[in-house]
Amino acid sequence: MADRKKETALVVSQEQIADNIFSMWIQTEAAASAKPGQFISMYTNDGTKLLPRPISICEIDKANGRLRVVYRVTGEKTGTKEFSQMKAGDTIPVVGPLGNGFPLEKAEGKKAFLMGGGIGVPPILELAKQLNCEKQIVVGYRDEHTFLKEQFEANGTLYISTEDGSVGTKGNVMHAIAENNLSADIIYACGPTPMLRAIKNHAEENGIECYISLEERMACGIGACLACTCKSKEKDHHSNVNNKRICKDGPVFLSTEVEI
């Protein structure tokens, strides 16, 4: 993939949709070629914060040249806090789309799990909209603030888990699968590492093809800082060591390719 250039995107809209969770639509050239599972790097206007914040793509509107990002504000003095204060008409520097995205063609004619946890939930939405197969959407939240719920329901059969048991199955996404006695031929997943580790183990124990997005561990998003490497089964042909850069080689990997 050719190197992407930084561009100035226009904020179309912004709203808070749950506790510390914000949804932003931006007008950007990145929308033209974006795919489910890819991300964009968003830069703050604060000169002291040099590294961008890699944010996964939640929805793609190619017709209007727009992308939606849904993200969590992680602190009072962070880039995400600055993003959350932006309004329609503001501008933001972005680079994208980045990463490899989910392989949609692998699911044709199959029954799929689309699994997301925490801030790994948003990228599952565009995936659900574009996949052409039987879709079982299994998403996990902390509590009753089940953002994007209605849109998931419109794009597949939805199963929810919550840590406090306020909605759906009490526990995590694996508990929801067990409680509802669900099965699948292929899995697409995005979320925190412990969740992905459990999904990877489940897939490999049951011989299920599984693609996991490791994006939560990214820093720079462009392969420069090497903060997001993960162990791989095969040696990297550049460095001749057993690792891959999540942002450059991923963020989506076949589960058997990586160790987490």
Q: Which CATH number does 104-259 carry?
A: 3.40.50.80
The rounded distance, in Å, linking the Cα atoms of 1 and 184 is 32
What are the sequence ranges of the domains in the chain?
Answer: 7-98, 104-259
Contact by Cβ (8 Å): 244, 230: yes
**Order of strands across the sheet with 111-117?**
169-170, 157-162, 134-141, 111-117, 186-190, 209-213, 252-254
209 pLDDT above the threshold of 80: yes
The CATH topology of domain 7-98 is Elongation Factor Tu (Ef-tu); domain 3 (2.40.30)
pLDDT for 178-188, tens place per residue?
999 999 999 99
Give the per-residue pLDDT at 1: 41
Reported as a single tens digit per residue, the pLDDT across 98-108 is 999 999 999 99
